[in-house]
Each structure stands twice: as structure tokens, then as C-alpha cells.
């Protein structure tokens, strides 16, 4: 099977007890059935603790019952008790995979690391060079699936062009995001008509519209209201959102480019499952705008580490909550404020890069 990774993937190492956040706090850990069965049969004190720490939640998932928003197996020194007592192979699927994200396309697999992990975020934003990708053959059997082959073919060809648009530094970042949206609108039309001919991207894709400041403010307010309405893993995040609403400045174009490429790599090919590339493209642009809103109040004196932390929190709060992702995608599909014209209007008025 062909497997694609971003260049930073292989450099990732969990920093465990040195992690300023730890993935074992703040959210619910879902235990896969195979691991849950092993845990139910485990011997000794750890077996007793495992049995008493699992419950079935409202989605019928088996989860660890958190204590003060921490995994019950997370020790005071932020090391994992299951890892220490039973070894790395005993970790459940969630803990083994995190912070990796995988899009399994049957004949191809895309794997990256999530910005929600502090060490992954540090790696992703540590370089100003464009993110690159490597595709290798791995000895993994191809899995049959029901992805429509024409949709898959169109998306696979378009993904490379979409990332090239986002990394085309000949144009300022706001115009690249506009071109990315317009390109994905065209890809959507190709999917609808099952047209596999390639789209040629000219300079006209990168043209802004005459911006309306009042309309941009109204739309940003709607986006901030949506973020504020989401379920919060960390209550402090609500305060940060309140403070950041209304402004979106693309002051850090390289970081915004990395964010756009990260989200595009993570979600572009997921359109193979539902044929809706435009909603994924809007989510990419909305996420960049949201991250820029969250850092707009930080002064220029504040360093990259603080901005990286703001991006990490967005990823953790939004991407890692199935409920929040569902609310955001529902708004993207239904709300007028997520029309391409509204997104392009915000981006067109945002030409001042640092
Ligand atoms: S958040 Fe990342 S660095 Fe921190 S403990 Fe989890 S995997 Fe390791």
C-alpha cells in the first residue's frame, strides 16, 4: 500500500512527563473493544483498577472514567500506569495512535500528527520552509472499500494542486486561500459531473473581490459565536474566544500557510467518503481564520510558542471533539455566513501581511 507522510512525521517523539499538556487529560479516552476485553481479564491490582475505571458512555463507547478531567491511569508525574504495569503493547488504540491521524483510503493511506499535541505542534511550526510530503510503499494489504473510484481519482489529482496553491509564495496568503476555495468549488463541480479532466489554475483564481468591512465584521462575529457555542474541554478557552472575537489578521503568513496545509492534508481526501470537497475546503479556511482570530490579540512581542499554543488549543477543542466537528460541519453546510462569497470577502480585506 502507498503511504503518505508529511516531512515532520518521522521526527515526532512523545515527550511524556515533559509534556506541558498531556493527551491523557481534558478529554474522554475511548477504549476499543479488543483492549477493553483484555483489560477486563487483567490480573492483580492493575486488573482491579482497570475493571473499575471503565464505563459505557451515552454514545455506547467504552471509556475510562476521568478523575478531575484526567485519565485515571495518568500518574502524578504524567506517566501512564498501564504502560508501566502492562507495557506499551497493552495501550488501547486511542493511546497507541495519538497524536497520529490516519485517512485510510483502501489502496492508499495518509498519516500525519495532530496539532493538538504540543510536541507535534512545535515540530510543525518550527520551520518556515514549506511542508513537504513523502509517499512510500509499505507492506500493508490493500483493503476493499466502497469509495466511488471516479470521485477518488478526481480528488487524488486535485489534492496536489490544492496544496501547491496554498504554498505558492508568489502570492500573499489571503489570495492563496481565495484561490484554494475557488479551485475546490471547481473540483466540486467536476465530482458532480464525474469529469476527470484536469483543472488549469490561472492567476485569475488569486484575484480578490472589493471587500466590505461591515460584512466581514458580521461574518467574523458569527464565526466567533459558533466557536463560543461549542462544547468546551477547557473552560478557559471560552474566555480566550470572547477576547479574540471580531479580528482576523493574517500577520503570520508562514504559520497560517502551515495551518492551511495541515488541515488540507488532513481533510482533503476525506471527501472521498462523501463527495463533498467544498465543505472540507471551507473548514480549512474557517480554521485558519479562527486561529488568526485567536492570535490577533497577541502583541508582536509575544513569540511563536504562544501562537503555537493558540493553534494547538483550537485543534484540541474543535478537531478532537466529534460533537464540535459535527456542529461546525453542520454550520458550514447550512449557514449563509459560510458561503464562499463571505469567506472570500474576509480574505479580500486581509491583504496586510507581516
Ligand atoms: S500530548 Fe503529545 S507529547 Fe504530550 S503526552 Fe500526548 S503524545 Fe506525548
What pLDDT sits at residue 353?
Answer: 44
The residue to mutate among 8, 9, 11, 16, having the most atoms of ligand 1 within 8 angstroms of its beta carbon, is: 16
What pLDDT sits at residue 300?
Answer: 55
| Closest by Cα among 242, 223, 236 to 287 | 223
**Whose Cα sits closest to atom 7 in ligand 1?**
14
pTM of this prediction?
A: 0.91
Q: Are 335 and 135 in contact (CB under 8 A)?
A: no
Rounded distance between C-alpha atoms, residue 337 and residue 127, angstroms? 34
Rounded distance between C-alpha atoms, residue 216 and residue 213, angstroms? 5
Expressed in angstroms and rounded, the spacing between residue 80 Cα and the centre of ligand 1 is 11
Rounded distance between C-alpha atoms, residue 84 and residue 67, angstroms? 19
Expressed in angstroms and rounded, the spacing between residue 16 Cα and the centre of ligand 1 is 6
Chunked into runs of 10 residues, the chain (354 residues) has average pLDDT values of 95 88 80 94 94 90 88 88 91 91 93 96 96 94 88 96 97 97 98 94 95 90 91 78 68 93 98 97 96 75 83 93 94 96 92 48
**Whose Cα sits closest to atom 2 in ligand 1?**
117
What are 7-17's pLDDT values in tens digits?
A: 999 999 988 88
What pLDDT sits at residue 354?
Answer: 40
Expressed in angstroms and rounded, the spacing between residue 73 Cα and the centre of ligand 1 is 15
| Closest by Cα among 127, 101, 196, 208 to 155 | 196
**Whose Cα sits closest to atom 4 in ligand 1?**
22
Degrees (nearest 5) of the Cα angle 37, 39, 42? 115
What are 51-94's pLDDT values in tens digits?
A: 999 999 888 889 998 888 888 999 988 889 999 999 988 999 99
C-alpha cell at 105: 483510503
What pLDDT sits at residue 240?
Answer: 74
Per-domain boundaries in the chain: 24-97, 147-348
What pLDDT sits at residue 59?
Answer: 81
Amino acid at each position: 500500500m502507498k503511504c503518505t507522510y508529511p516531512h515532520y512525521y518521522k521526527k515526532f517523539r512523545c515527550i511524556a512527563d515533559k509534556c506541558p499538556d498531556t493527551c491523557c487529560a481534558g478529554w474522554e479516552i475511548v477504549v476499543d473493544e479488543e483492549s477493553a476485553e483484555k483489560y477486563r481479564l487483567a490480573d492483580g491490582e492493575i486488573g482491579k483498577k482497570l475493571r473499575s475505571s471503565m464505563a459505557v458512555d451515552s454514545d455506547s463507547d467504552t471509556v475510562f472514567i476521568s478523575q478531575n478531567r484526567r485519565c485515571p491511569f495518568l500518574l502524578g508525574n504524567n506517566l501512564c500506569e498501564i504502560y508501566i504495569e502492562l507495557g506499551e503493547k497493552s495501550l488501547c488504540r486511542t493511546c497507541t495512535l495519538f497524536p497520529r491521524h490516519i485517512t485510510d483510503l483502501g489502496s492508499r493511506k495518509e498519516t500525519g500528527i495532530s496539532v493538538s499535541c504540543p510536541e507535534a505542534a512545535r515540530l510543525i511550526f518550527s520551520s518556515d520552509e514549506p511542508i513537504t510530503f513523502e509517499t512510500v510503499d509499505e507492506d500493508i494489504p490493500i483493503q476493499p472499500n466502497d469509495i466511488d473510484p471516479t470521485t477518488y481519482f478526481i480528488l487524488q489529482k486535485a489534492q496536489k494542486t490544492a496544496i501547491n496553491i496554498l504554498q505558492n509564495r508568489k502570492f500573499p496568503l489571503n489570495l492563496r486561500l481565495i484561490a484554494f476555495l475557488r479551485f475546490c468549488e471547481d473540483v466540486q463541480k467536476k465530482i458532480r459531473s464525474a469529469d476527470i479532466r484536469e483543472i488549469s489554475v490561472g492567476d485569475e483564481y488569486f484575484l480578490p473581490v472589493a471587500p466590505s468591512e461591515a460584512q466581514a465584521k458580521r461574518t467574523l462575529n458569527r464565526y466567533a459565536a459558533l466557536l463560543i457555542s461549542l462544547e468546551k474541554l477547557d473552560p478557559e478557552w471560552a474566555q480566550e474566544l470572547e477576547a479574540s472575537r471580531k479580528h482576523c489578521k493574517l500577520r503570520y503568513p508562514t504559520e497560517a500557510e502551515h495551518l492551511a496545509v495541515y488541515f488540507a492534508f488532513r481533510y482533503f481526501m476525506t471527501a472521498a467518503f462523501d463527495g463533498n470537497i467544498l465543505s472540507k475546503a471551507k473548514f480549512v479556511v474557517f480554521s485558519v481564520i479562527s486561529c488568526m482570530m485567536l492570535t490577533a490579540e497577541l502583541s508582536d512581542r509575544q513569540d511563536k510558542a504562544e501562537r503555537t499554543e493558540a493553534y494547538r488549543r483550537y485543534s484540541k477543542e474543535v478537531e478532537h471533539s466529534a460533537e464540535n466537528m459535527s456542529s461546525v460541519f453542520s454550520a458550514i453546510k447550512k449557514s449563509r455566513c459560510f458561503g464562499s462569497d463571505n469567506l472570500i470577502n474576509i480574505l479580500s480585506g486581509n491583504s496586510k501581511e507581516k
